[in-house]
Structure 1
Amino acid sequence: MRLIVNFRTWLLALLAFTGAVVAETPLDPHLIQALKTGHLRTCLPNVSFQLESAGLASNPQKVANMYCHCLGNFYFNDLSKEEFEEMRISDGALPARIAQNRRAIQEHCATIHLPHFR
C-alpha cells in the first residue's frame, strides 16, 4: 500500500511539473482564488453528504474541507490563461490537461484526506 501511495505522489509531482512547463501564460491569482472558491461551493456539500451518509468520517465537514481544498489546489494552482479560456468556452469543464489527470488527482487527495483510503 505504501508503495502505491509513493508512486501516486511521484506521478502527481511529475504531472504537475509537466503541466507547469506546458502552461503558457499564468492566470491572475485572484481569478485562481475565485475558481477555487466556486469549486468549494459545490465540492464541500457533496463530499460531506457522501461521507456522512456512508459513515466514513467522524467529522465529515472537516474531512471534506481538506479533500476539496486539495482537489482545488491541483485543479487550479497552475491554470494558464489559455486553459481558463478552454474552460470558458466549454461552460466550465476542466481543461484537457487536468481532465486527463483528474482520477489520479482525486485518488491522491483521497489517500491523504479520506480515512477509508488509508
Structure 2
Amino acid sequence: MGSPDALIRAAVHRISARVGHGLADTAAELAVFAKDAPERFRQEWELFQEEVREEAERLERGDSSPVASDADSIQGPTTESPQQVIDRLRASVADLSQRIEARS
C-alpha cells in the first residue's frame, strides 16, 4: 500500500470520479427527458382532445352514462352495482392503456 497521503488523494479522486459520473448520468437523463417532453405533451394533448370529442358526442346523443371522472365516480349517486363500476373502470383503463401504447 502507499503512504497515507497517497491513499487520501486516491480516495478523493475516486469519490470525485464517482460523483462526477453520477452527475453526468443525471444530466444525460435530464437531456433525454427534455428531448421526449414535447412528444409526451403532444400525445397527452391529443388524448385529451379525443376524450373531449367523445364526451361531446355522448352529450349530443343524450347518453345517460357519462364518462366518470374520479370525483364523479366517488361522489355521484349511481344505480350500478360496485362490481359493474369496477368492470367499467377496468375497461376504461384498458382502453386508455391501448391508446397510449398505440401512439408510442
Q: Relative contact order (C-alpha < 8 Å, sep 6+): which is higher?
A: 1
Shared topology, TM-score over 0.5? no
Q: Normalising by structure 2, what TM-score?
A: 0.29
Q: Normalising by structure 1, what TM-score?
A: 0.26
